[in-house]
Structure 1
Amino acid sequence: MSIPSFGLGTFRLTGQTVIDSVKAALELGYRAIDTAQIYKNEADVGQAIAESQVPRDELFITTKIWVDNYAADKLIPSLRESLDKLRTEHVDLLLIHWPAPGNGVELSEYMQALAEAKQQGLTRQIGVSNFNIELTRQAIAVVGEGEIATNQIELSPYLQNAKLSAFLEDHGITVTSYMTLAYGKVLKDPLLAEIAAKHKATVAQVALAWALQLGYAVIPSSTKRENLASNLLAQGLRLDAEDMARIATLERNGREVSPANLAPVWD
């Protein structure tokens, strides 16, 4: 199995807003949906999927276990609650949301519980999110080489994470880029605007195409149907070597998200 290269993110979207976003995306052809326990929108996502009438076997659904549920006696019960909300018997990908090094549950305990969820058929694949190189090494040591499908990390033209991405590639772990547009900050970038004009594309399409060409999966979100449709077109945009080299110069370690009690020491 593999990770779809293009999906829909649902971070910060709840209620009718996320229902409308997911339904519009599915109508437009999206088939991968990313959610999480902490987003408080799994039931809304499940409702949107049900109302869309897209067959379950055409969908790739990802959710993430929140830190409160990392203990061995909580992880799988919390996942079953998520499955009920999502109206499905399994997810396609289940992630540990943050390493949360100080929360009292050892990495070995929650990674073993994650592997058990896969063994029980509650998820097809497992992975991690926001892990640095060392913690990813530790996770591999627990569940085995080849078992971690992805590490979902913040990654954008302003935060290119080359060292971590190279490590993941070496171990056959797909990079899933979230916040590829850096909360919209890259949309105002003059260099990206030049590249977009050259290709008669949008800046968002350029940023997403850049990540796709590096072999990463992307999960942009939007509440606007026209932006959902426009983002999809990034899959057909080919940037040339000069474009990619110019975007590489935008690296500035521009991290947007790093909660003190959840994040690792970044590479």
Structure 2
Amino acid sequence: TVASAHREFFDSEEAIADAKAEIFTGLPPDGIAVLNRDNRHFERLAAQARNAGVGHILTFGIDGAADVRAQDIVLHETLSCVAADVAGTRLFFKVGIPGRHWVMNALGALAVVHALDGDLSLAALALAELRPLAGRGARARIATKRGHATVIDESYNANPESMRAALAVLGAAQTRGSGRRIAVLGDMMELGADATRAHGDLASAVIAAKADLVIATGPLMRALAERLIAAGMRCLMAADADGAYEALMPRLRDGDVILVKGSNASGMQRLVDRLKLPPRARPRSDD
């Protein structure tokens, strides 16, 4: 897929698509290009594939014209249920990682299995066994003063599209008792001249996720904080991951669900590591 990741090194998102399309030159004439039909750069990528001599383009997505398409998606807190048409074969399957973006990944995987003439039924069963990885959505139960909370660890990396996807997962998360949805968001790096706008534009996704508290971490996240505060949302600002830890710890409650996400360079993994420590081993908060 194509999104505004590493935008700093390209003149436009279209240039990112062109760079990714270079892979088509390595395909033989009987090769198959598997493309996301829902991506706004699909036509550009398809044209580049044809120009490179690719003989067959297989598409996936929700778009009705996709060869492998989802016909019904039910999103749950920790998984998704999908009904799909895989080039004429009807499949019902589960994806063991939550979020619409993982459904799209699953459709892409099934398209590859179909292209290789693999066993679609076995592939569909395997998708149910998927589990989130550390830094990529893994969940951890952490101790609070009077109970426990849940951390959703998305600390490995971030761009505008993946931020929105992770916030949607937070929005679907179920809190317990007086628990809240908390988003601790670190800077998204390598966005170039679009950085300030891209951070501020996350406000709609945060609001849609019904986050009760946001800790905007890093200088770029100030643009988001200003938008959220103007919208009447509760938002704190922290200079870095250490500051986010200081802001979060005294405010944790039993039943909270905390999303932690940011580019790798923002150091949000350090925050996750601290939260997962036994209470006596955690650094003391100065608050």
TM-score (norm 1): 0.32
- Which structure is higher in RCO with an 8 Å CA cutoff and minimum separation 6? 1
TM-score (norm 2): 0.30
Between structures 1 and 2, the one with greater strand share: 2
Q: Which has the larger radius of gyration?
A: 2
